[in-house]
């Protein structure tokens, strides 16, 4: 259970209708198979001990008695397994028959959950056989054990309290008021569902959407095990459509085959997500049934997207870029209208961030019907500027039809060096920051001259790392890129480039895309960039990965290291990832003072660092605990 992970399995087997001993054999075999695969939870299909489709044979005393006998055998045969096993069987109680899920662990029956929503429509006439368990809340004796018999119970691992399992059965998840809703509000982090949902044209898509949406709405893990191919086909067909989902994400799925599927869930992440949801209220009317898993350090079989801000599928990526660009544009339009500004000032370096900002400004002006020439775009070459970036900046401005200005700040910076007594041959932080602050001063003063807004160009990755000069490029009147990570900026520029296919502007944007990321504050050598940002702070793809998981899920440092190694297997080794993760933590904490006073700007995704809403953090917070944990010295 290290780092909050748990391996969950769902499955079915070739059903022997009404042959309870044969079905018990297969249940025991699957339980042992799942345990050998290091699964901690196994969910089998609805009424799997007898078969779901035996109809009036449910009334046969031979079936009901044999089910109880075989349950006792299953308990005995699995008592050495550290496995939370969910099986389905009919149970008679007080002159009623109930469709139940029975939960076992290490030879103990933890509880019995009766189905609440019993269907009686179309091809399902369960109400002919089964009563609803809605009002059941008692204890029963079964397999020589007295156990709770109610749908209102949650199974909690005392050794790993983030593992809280709730149970609903098939139709329950299709109901308007699902039991899983209340189970999750009572603390359940994983819902298991033994089900028998037949196959119809289009139904698999709906079922897939239903389970995914339920796990997303409830912020939970969801394990759905459906009846398989051995069920009767007198009128309907069952496909063994098993689904394992986590907070809206499909982890595993199979259809038209019997056997087991597995997925590794992160239930600590589920807990973390809920902590930030003030609308996730608590319900107390549920019994807690305790059990104890052993500790287990899984060798994770789980995918982590190395670029969590950028969809991997091309169509989804294009749609994301279109949406983000629209949000940026709409945000700037509102700010221009609200401030009665019809002019904007943007510093253009020939790099990705300033290019994206200018593209956003031109689209906003076009939508508002403002003339492009009222956008004042300024390139300010200095000691590190290369002809490539300068020419790209000038061409970009010309192609977009904005007012272009070139202001060489070299002489002003040299004068400032003289004023403060700085040796221009000393290429230290003062040498670099004087240039950045001079550029910001020029932008601000020209904005005053024309009555416009200075549009900031810094992106989310730079905000996270504090990779900006305080009161230099750190400052603007509105920052359109402030919540766009560096890994997404590139795709946004590429997306806009595609809108100008065949034009000169497309070629310019493509060349900008292939220019190394650099602040160009150190002197160029042979007209080539010598100061490459990623050589200094590390790969932006790593920092964006760290940022996403740190801000969204608040992982422990060693867990962050672990999942990064999975995401970047074969790309970066352990020491490289650890090196840049250490730097990420140091900079993220020490640079909060810059974030505390950043300009307004639009939030475009789930991760943003505005001090006004998304990250309220003291500027003097101590990073020691995170670094100690990462180094194993806490």
Catalytic position from the list 48, 100, 170, 482: 170
Q: Is 46 an annotated catalytic residue?
A: yes
Catalytic, out of 10, 100, 115, 184: 115
CA distance 580 to 487: 16
Out of 10, 46, 382, 482, the active site residue is 46
Closest CA relative to residue 493, chosen from 483, 474, 503, 506: 506
299 catalytic residue (yes or no): no
CA distance linking residue 580 with residue 584, whole number of Å: 6
Residue among 399, 210, 181, 205 nearest 283 (CA): 181
CB of 6 closer than 8 Å to CB of 263: no
Residue 415 is classified by DSSP as H
Whole-angstrom CA distances from 562 to 292, 310, 464, 585 are 25, 21, 21, 16
Q: Return all residues near 556 (Cβ < 8 A) that are at least 6 apart.
A: 3, 629
Q: In what order do the strands lie in the sheet with 153-157?
A: 249-254, 242-246, 221-225, 190-194, 164-167, 153-157, 287-291
- CA 105 – CA 110 distance, rounded (Å): 7
Write out the E strands in 415-481: 453-456, 478-479
Q: Cα(155)–Cα(289) distance, rounded to whole angstroms?
A: 5
Q: Indicate if 434 belongs to the active site.
A: no
* CA distances from residue 419 to 138, 373, 413, 591 in whole angstroms, order as listed: 85, 36, 10, 28
End-to-end alpha-carbon separation of the chain, Å? 20
580 in Cβ contact with 539 (< 8 Å): yes
242-246 and 249-254 as β-strands: parallel, antiparallel, unpaired?
A: antiparallel
Structure token digits, residue 9 = 């399995």
- Annotated catalytic sites, by residue? 46, 115, 170
């Amino acid at each position: 259970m290290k780092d909050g992970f748990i391996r969950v399995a769902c499955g079915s087997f070739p059903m022997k209708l009404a042959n309870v001993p044969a079905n018990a054999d297969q249940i025991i075999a699957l339980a042992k198979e799942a345990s050998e695969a290091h699964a901690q939870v196994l969910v089998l299909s609805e009424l799997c001990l007898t078969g779901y489709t035996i109809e009036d044979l449910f009334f046969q005393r031979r079936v009901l008695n044999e089910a109880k006998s075989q349950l006792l055998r299953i308990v005995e045969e699995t008592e050495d397994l550290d496995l939370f096993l969910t099986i389905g069987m009919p149970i008679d109680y007080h002159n009623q028959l109930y469709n139940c899920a029975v939960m076992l662990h290490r030879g103990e029956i933890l509880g019995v959950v009766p189905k609440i929503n019993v269907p009686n429509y179309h091809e399902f006439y369960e109400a002919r056989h089964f009563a609803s368990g809605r009002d059941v809340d008692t204890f029963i004796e079964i397999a020589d054990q007295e156990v709770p018999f109610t749908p209102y119970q949650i199974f909690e691992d005392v050794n790993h309290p983030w593992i809280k399992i709730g149970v609903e059965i098939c139709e329950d998840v299709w109901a308007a008021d699902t039991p899983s809703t209340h189970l999750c509000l009572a603390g359940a982090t994983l819902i298991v569902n033994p089900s028998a949902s037949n196959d119809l044209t289009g139904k698999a898509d709906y079922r897939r959407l239903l389970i995914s949406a339920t796990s997303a709405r409830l912020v939970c893990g969801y394990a759905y095990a459906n009846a398989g191919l051995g069920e009767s086909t007198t009128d309907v067909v069952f496909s063994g459509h098993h689904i394992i989902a986590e907070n809206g994400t499909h982890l595993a799925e199979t259809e038209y085959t019997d056997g087991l599927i597995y997925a590794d869930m992160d239930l600590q992440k589920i807990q973390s997500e809920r902590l930030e949801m003030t609308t996730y209220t608590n319900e107390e009317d549920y019994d807690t049934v305790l059990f104890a898993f052993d500790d287990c350090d899984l060798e994770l079989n789980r995918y982590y997207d190395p670029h969590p801000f950028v969809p991997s599928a091309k169509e989804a990526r294009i749609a994301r870029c279109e949406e983000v660009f629209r949000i940026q544009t709409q945000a700037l339009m509102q700010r221009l209208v609200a401030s009665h500004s019809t002019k904007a000032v943007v510093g253009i370096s020939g790099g990705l961030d300033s290019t994206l900002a200018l593209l956003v400004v031109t689209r906003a002006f076009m939508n508002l019907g403002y003339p492009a020439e009222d956008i004042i775009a300024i390139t300010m070459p200095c000691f590190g500027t290369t002809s490539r970036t300068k020419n790209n900046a000038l061409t970009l401005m010309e192609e977009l039809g904005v007012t272009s200005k070139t202001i060489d700040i070299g002489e002003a910076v040299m004068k400032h060096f003289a004023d403060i007594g700085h040796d221009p041959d000393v290429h230290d932080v003062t040498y670099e920051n004087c240039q950045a602050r001079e550029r910001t001063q020029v932008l601000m003063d020209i904005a005053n001259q024309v009555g416009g807004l200075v549009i900031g160009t810094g992106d989310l990755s730079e905000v996270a790392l504090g990779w900006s000069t305080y009161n230099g490029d750190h400052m603007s009147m509105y920052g359109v890129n402030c919540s766009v990570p560096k890994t997404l900026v590139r795709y946004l520029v590429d997306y806009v480039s595609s809108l100008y296919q065949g034009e000169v502007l497309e070629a310019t944007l493509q060349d900008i895309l292939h220019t190394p990321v650099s602040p160009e504050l150190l002197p160029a050598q042979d007209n080539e960039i010598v100061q490459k940002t990623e050589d200094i702070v590390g790969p932006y793809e790593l920092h964006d990965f760290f940022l996403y998981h740190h801000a969204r899920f608040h992982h422990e440092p060693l867990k962050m290291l672990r999942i990064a190694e999975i995401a970047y297997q074969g790309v970066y080794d352990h020491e490289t990832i650890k090196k840049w993760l250490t730097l990420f933590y140091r900079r993220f904490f020490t640079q909060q003072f810059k974030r505390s006073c950043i300009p307004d700007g639009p939030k475009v995704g789930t991760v943003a660092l505005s001090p006004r809403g998304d990250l309220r953090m003291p500027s003097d917070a101590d990073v020691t605990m995170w670094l100690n944990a990462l180094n194993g010295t806490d």
